[in-house]
Structure formats: C-alpha cells, structure tokens
Amino acid sequence: NPDDISDELNNIKSYLPSEFKRVSRTLEEVEYWKATEFRNFLLYIGPIVLKCRLRKSLYKHFMLLSCAIRLLISPETCHTYNFVARDLLKQFVTEYSSHYGEEYVGYNVHGLIHICDFVLIHGALDSFSA
C-alpha cells in the first residue's frame, strides 16, 4: 500500500543520520523528488522500507537494482565487482517487463545494462555525472 510506504518514509526521518542532506518525501510527492532523494531511497531507505511492504518477487527485483548500483558507486568495488553488477542489471532489465509491463521498458531501463561499461571507463558512479 503506497500510504503505508509514505507513512514509513515520514517515520524513518528521525532515525537518519545528519549526512542525509535531503530526506525522501512521501510517495505522493515523488514527482518533486530530487536526484539525491531517489539515490537515498534506492541505496539506503528503500531496502528497509520496502522489505515487508512489497510482494517478495517485487522486492527481490528492486534489490537487484539497489545492489548493482551499490557496487558501482564505490571506488573499492566498481571495478572488482563490475561483472556482478552487470549480471544483476541484466537480470533486472530482463525481468522488468514481467513485473511492470512491456510498455514500460524504455530507453532508460535498457540503458542500465551499459552503465557498467561507463564505470569501467570513467570510474565509480559517484565520480562522474551525465
């Protein structure tokens, strides 16, 4: 239920460290989220908040993306585990249409597969911007 997730996003704010400059707003406000809010949700908040609120298959699908990006943002893991991130992202893209519908598999979803190549050339995701 989106309302439950939004409630949890509000509740979790008091537990986040001060390093989180921008805390994710509710799902009703997702169209106004900044890139930092999406990043924090993907890497830190989402894995906790969504665990008991999504069907197991959807949560596992979300975690494919979260884990892959986690590996690619770190200078310590972006090269060594690039092949793991690539496999996770390929699986994420392959399963995407079965979870959300073929009509939602756009350029951005397909482009996730190529992020690993950019990381090999330019370094960790946190070290460059598009």
Sign of the torsion formed by the C-alpha atoms of 107, 63, 33 and 103 = positive
Q: How does residue 72 score in pLDDT terms, banded at 50, 70 and 90?
A: very high
Angle subtended at Cα 82 by Cα 76 and Cα 88, rounded to the nearest 5 degrees? 120
Q: How does residue 48 score in pLDDT terms, banded at 50, 70 and 90?
A: very high
Asked if pLDDT for residue 94 goes beyond 90, the answer is yes
- How many structural domains does the chain have? 1
pLDDT of residue 62: 98
Range of the domain at 97: 2-127
